Amino acid sequence: MQAPPSQPHPKQDPEVTVVNFLWGDWPGKGKLGRDLAPLYLKRFRESLKKLAGQPFRHLLYTDRPERFRNAYLDAQEDFEIKELGSCGQWGGCLPKFRALAADPDLNGQILVMDLDNVFLRDLSPMFDYRGDFAICNDVDPSRTNKVGGNIASFPAGRWDSLWQTLKENPGKYRELSQGSERFLFDHFKETGQLPVCDYWNELHPGLVLSFKREARGRPIPPEAAVLWTHGQPRPHKLWRKGGLSYYLKWKGLT
């Protein structure tokens, strides 16, 4: 008897959804800022595709989707642009908490990453994380065991309660946190609303490198996978601020 023809395996959705947020004039005003935003997104995607170690789905939440309509981005698979909505007016970094919402657009393990991170080597430790919540610790030695913001990973919808809390009174939490994601996450930890918190550099020592505290004027350590710029200097200016080797990584030249 002839064996039946083999059936193609159905395509599986990626286990990780990478989420970016961009609103306002970031990374700068005028034509330079308008041109840099899609360039940052392109550099981000090109680095991740080389270093993620697995397929991923990619969402960009923005208040200005027209800035990202170009041939390169339109041709990208597993990439979608989403309207940020009214939370884009909340101030500070609070719009990024939108990623905590229980939402059909957000599935699998969520990995919220800022576009001004510089990726240095294999990112599998971050893409393989399947815990309840991981984020960077604060690099300020006076803030031991405090959240530092940047690169959060959690199961989709796991912390919808935090999103609902913030959404009910964003003005209150903007004042409480000064618009800072690290201060708001600290508040959620201290009140027991965020009962677990893994830190990347405790899970994988040296994985995330602070430019301001650890990297300026120094060679790239072999264990570092991410350079965290803390907003300034932007990666396109690192070569002028004692970070030439990191700038070349961001440019994809090394």
What domains can you pick out in the chain, each with its CATH number?
16-204 (3.90.550.10)
- Report d(CA 151, CA 170) in Å as an integer: 22
Per-residue tens of pLDDT for the chain, all 254 residues: 444 444 444 456 789 999 999 998 887 777 667 788 999 999 999 999 999 999 999 999 999 998 888 889 889 989 999 999 999 999 999 999 999 999 999 999 999 999 999 999 999 999 999 999 999 999 988 888 899 999 999 999 999 999 999 999 999 999 999 999 999 999 999 999 999 999 999 999 999 999 998 988 899 999 999 999 988 899 999 998 899 999 999 999 88
What percentage of the chain's residues is helix, strand, coil (to nearest 5)?
35, 20, 45
115: left (phi over 0), alpha (psi -120 to 50) or beta: alpha
pLDDT of residue 13: 73
**Closest of 217, 51, 237, 219 to residue 127, by C-alpha:** 51
Cα separation, 243 vs 237, in Å, equals 9
What residues pair up with 58 in beta bridges, in sequence order? 18, 79
Predicted structure pTM score: 0.92
Read off the pLDDT of residues 183-216 as tens digits, 9 standing for 90 and up. 999 999 999 999 999 999 999 999 999 999 898 8
The span from the CA of 56 to the CA of 15, in Å, is 7
The structure tokens listed for 89 are: 């007016």
Tell me how far apart the alpha carbons of residues 163 and 101 are, in angstroms, rounded to a whole number.
6
* Residue 94 DSSP label: G
As beta bridge partners, residue 169 has none
User: Amino acid identity of 68?
Assistant: F
* Residue 86, phi then psi, degrees to nearest 5: -65, -25
- Cβ 149 vs Cβ 93: under 8 Å: yes
What's the pLDDT at 141?
85
Cα separation, 73 vs 22, whole angstroms: 15
> Tokens at residue 62, please?
């923005």
Helix (H, G, I), strand (E, B) or coil at 11: coil
